[in-house]
Structure 1
Amino acid sequence: MAELKKTLGLPSLIALGVAGVVGSSWIYTSSSFFADLGAGGMIIGLLIGAALAACVALAYGEMTSAVPRAGGEVVWGYTSLGRSAGFATGWFHIGAYISSLAFYVTAFGTLLGKYVPAMGAVPLYSVGGEAVTLPVLAAGIVLTLLIFGLNWFGVSLGAQIQVVLFAAMLLIGAALAVGALVVGSPSNLWPLWTADQQPLASTLRMVVPGITYVVGFSLVAVLAEESSLSPRRVGRAVVATVACAAAFYTVVLLATAYVVPWESVSGMELGTIDAFSAAGLPLLSLGAFLIAVLGLVTSFLGLFVASSRVVLALARARLLPRGLARVDERSGVPRRALLFILVVTVVLGLLGPGAIIWFLDAGGVFLGVVWFLVVLAKYRLPRVYPGLERSYRARPAFLPAVGALGALAVIVFTLVPVPGVEMSLQWPQEYLILAAWALLGVVLFLFTPRPTDPEEAFDEMVGPLAGTLRAARRG
């Protein structure tokens, strides 16, 4: 079968990894986070969460340097832990990605509605208490088709656009920081908590959400097969995305809390957007809004292409229909996998934000499962393939295990209500979605025929690495 083309350089990988998950809601929900946790709780908690995510990213970096193949986690789980683990990593990863993609279908028009009142006209139906309007739905479907079109002829064009949009976000973020320094004051930022907020408790409450803010490193791993870099440099790029994402969030949030008193921001509706408007900087307020729009578009683009590569990896391993593994000879694009993601995204997106938020919340559990399995695979890999070279190593070696504890925290805090940590799923909708997705996965796995020639499936899944892995397994 045809292989994916190696067209992604370092700027493309970093842009896809960072801007691919930045999103938009954090810009305008910063006000509610400040109100609940204080500026200190949100910013410091986010940094602690990013540090835990970086521990997981170390495992991703090592595994990517050893087995740089599309679908990342699917291949690692399969080769290190077995066929069922390979399916579980891929299935839960698709669940996490698809929930975000479906959310973006209506989130784009909803975000535009904050400045364009006409987006709220012509309500069509309501799901979960949220109305879906014609302009919002039309804008989302047009954006979805545009992103699909960008990926139809190759990842290179979409990656180049991603780099441009990410550069624009960085420039706007820098302008926000400079504007805050010019008109703001340290007294606006200090103290970091109000008298009735508990610094330790509020900071810890932000750690789990903070982990989910910087998950873009997984996109780099998923796209590693299409990178033109050496495996070692790809491994480093995986870890670098966490630092870049954390730095970007921190700069913008600090600027928000510095430009006007952060306590006043906590009472605003649109967080950073309103903060710069209140400071008498309307152009920078518009810039903050543009960060939200660009973040949504870049996240949509990054997750769309990554989702198709996870589907491709599952199909190569015969864990989904083999036809989805077909790669176009001329473009090197898995077009059937792209079509699959397009259909699922649009169908789920039609449900609107009232229902999709249920899927989105369940996605935190999905990611926690994937991260935990990847860390297990990282420690298992040297035992299964003692002769396999890993040009990038996690140092110290115990740090990925710390990241696995962070992944378990995501799962526990999402499934089990914990006082002071508002992360638990909504009952019963989100628990039912979680159970239904897991059950559907079990059914698919049990009823998907095992390949008549497991070695052929293995060879297709790992591609040119097949000989290297067999030699390494013999030690």
Structure 2
Amino acid sequence: MLGPRKTLESLAHRETGHSLAKTLSWPHLVALGVGAIVGTGIYTLTGVGAERAGPAVILAFAIAGAVCACAALAYAEMATLIPAAGSAYTFSYAAMGETVAWIVGWSLILEYSLACSTVAVGWSGYLVGWIQSAGVPLAEMLLTGPFTGGLINLPAVLVALAIMGMLIGGTRESATLNIILVIIKLAALSVFVAIALPAFQADNLQPFMPYGFGSSEIGGAKRGVMAAAAIVFFAFYGFDAVATSAEEAKNPGRDLTIGIIGSMLVCTVIYMAVAFAAVGALPFQELGHSAEPLALVLRALDQPFAAHVIALAAIIALPSVILVMMYGQSRVFFVMARDGLLPRALARINPKTGAPTRITLMTGVSIALVAGIFPLDKIAEMANAGTLIAFIAVGACLMIMRRREPALPRLFRCPQPYLVGTLAIAGCAYLLFSLPTDTLIRFAIWNVAGLIFYCLYSRPRSSAGRDLAAQRA
């Protein structure tokens, strides 16, 4: 039993006091996408990917980008067909029913919260490296969580709480600041490529695939191109946060299409250039053990000032990723609460800012706690599991809605929808099962707990369920 489905008419209806303000135009949405996509993935996970795949991390980025491109096309059509907050959760509610929507929403909560925490930990690595390179001693116990020998990652906690405060201040103000941060970030990456590319050495690409193509256990860890793709996949998502903002877009049909497709195109080009320059300039073994691989490359090239500037740019600009991901999670939380699947009191909107203050506060505190305790790679793997489930669901929604409602007007029509949907599902499923076994076990436990909560609390209080019961009566 998949539960009641929401009609497109019901998705367009908003109760007074539970409707988000329309404050975002397409430049804000492109910046939201780029701000989320270009971040920890390229600044820090380049090293993690190189450790798992060697120089073939370049190929891992290409594979992850191709899978995300299929998902992005599906998202673009669904977001313009259903311009309501909630992204994959809302699409699944309309196409497949409440139970599937709950699983997707529960996975999105995991995705966004852990994505924010991952970036906060990555940001902390750059901040610590930048300060220590200036000769300033720091208390090691406050720079890393208990799983890596410390007490708490205090910088990661503080940046998460600071971003929470910005979002509570209002969506438009946060999105405008995000544009500025994105410009800084892109300028820094351009400087990195300009310096590192001339130092390219072909020998650094040999052997290109030291651990093979598939994902296999080597030395107690999963290695290979697909194992790397399963984690650097984190580097590409972010356009789903654009879809989450659909209800706040001034012109959803135009703005969402430009925001989703535009941000993916810009970021794919950037990622290929940066990854190629990094692994060409420095052996992958050295990249794999650094929390700040791009700055490491520049220091190895005897460019200490440039390394200092790149690290500073990361410190300034990486919070834009936290901002977008925390924004996305708060909106998924908000819509689930508005639907009655979470306590409806959480869906209250602040009349001054048009933002859901309570849900944002809860989101920020939970993210700060995770960032303060867990290491970067473990958080990213769990975040990827949640995202892959959401992308699989959107690929399915694309095909279901094309078959069920072929005549509905679509402001963006995905080319070859059944091929694109199938590729998105197959590619994401392969990446999902390329994740470490313990990650998949933890993800399964998370979803079992979620389904128990749904059966005991959410389903009896669902507004869609009550509406369906009233219609039958």
Q: What TM-score, normalized by structure 1, do the two folds share?
A: 0.82
Could you tell me whether the CA contact under 8 Å between 2:234 and 2:380 is conserved in 1? Answer: no
State the 1:223 CA deviation. Answer: 0.9
The AA in structure 1 aligned to 2:464 is P
Find out whether 1:454 has 2:458 as its counterpart.
no
* Aligned pairs for 1:10-409 within 5 A: 10-24=26-40, 26-28=42-44, 30-31=46-47, 33-34=49-50, 37-39=53-55, 41-117=56-132, 118-122=137-141, 127-133=146-152, 136-137=153-154, 139-180=155-196, 184-185=198-199, 188-189=201-202, 192-194=205-207, 197=210, 203-258=225-280, 260=281, 262=283, 266=287, 269=290, 270-294=292-316, 296-350=318-372, 352-354=373-375, 358-397=378-417, 398-409=419-430
In structure 2, which of residues 447, 451, 457 is the aligned counterpart of residue 438 of structure 1? 447
Give the whole-Å Cα distance in 2 for the aligned partners of 1:360 and 1:268.
16
Instruction: Give, in angstroms, the shift of residue 38 of structure 1.
Output: 3.8
Give, in angstroms, the shift of residue 237 of structure 1: 2.2
SS of the aligned residue for 2:151 comes to strand
Moved more, 57-66 or 394-403: 394-403
Q: Is the 8 A contact 2:161 2:368 kept in 1?
A: no
Q: Distance in 1 between matches of 2:50 and 2:328?
A: 32
* Aligned twin of 1:464: none
CA spacing shift, 1:175–1:359, aligned 2, 3 Å: closer
CA contact (8 A) 1:18 1:214 kept: no
* Secondary structure at the counterpart of residue 410 of structure 2: coil
Q: Determine what percentage of the aligned residue pairs are the same residue.
A: 21
In 2, are the aligned partners of 1:50 and 1:210 still within 8 Å (CA)?
A: no
Shift in Å at residue 449 of structure 1?
4.6
| TM-score (structure 2 length as normaliser) | 0.83
Equivalent-residue separation in structure 2 for 1:390 and 1:192 (angstroms): 45
Evaluate the alpha carbon distance shift between residue 395 and residue 272 of structure 1 in structure 2; reply closer, same or farther with a 3 A threshold: same
- Contact residue 173 and residue 251 of structure 1 kept, 8 A: no
Runs of 4+ in 1 over 6 A off after TM superposition: 455-458
Query: CA contact under 8 A between 2:49 and 2:288: conserved in structure 1?
Result: no
Shift of 1:320: 1.0
Gaps (5+ residues) in structure 2? Answer: 1-15, 215-223, 469-473
Q: Decide whether the 8 Å contact of 2:334 with 2:346 is kept in 1.
A: yes
Contact 1:21 1:295 in 2 (8 A): no
Native 8 Å contact 1:24 1:295 kept in 2: no
Letter in structure 2 aligned against 1:273: A
Give the partner amino acid of 1:197. Answer: P
Instruction: Give the alignment's Cα RMSD to 1 decimal.
Output: 2.9
Q: Which one is further off, 287-296 or 269-278? A: 287-296
Segments of 5+ residues of structure 1 without an aligned counterpart are 415-423, 459-475
Distance 1:199 1:7, change over 3 A: same
Amino acid at match of 1:411: L
SS where residue 423 of structure 2 aligns?
helix
Spell out, residue by residue over 1:372-393, the C-alpha distance to the aligned partner (whole angstroms, 9 max, x if none).
1111111112344444221111
**Offset at 1:76?**
0.8
Name the amino acid aligned to 1:454. A
Q: Cα gap change, 1:115/1:25 in structure 2, threshold over 3 Å: closer, same or farther? A: farther
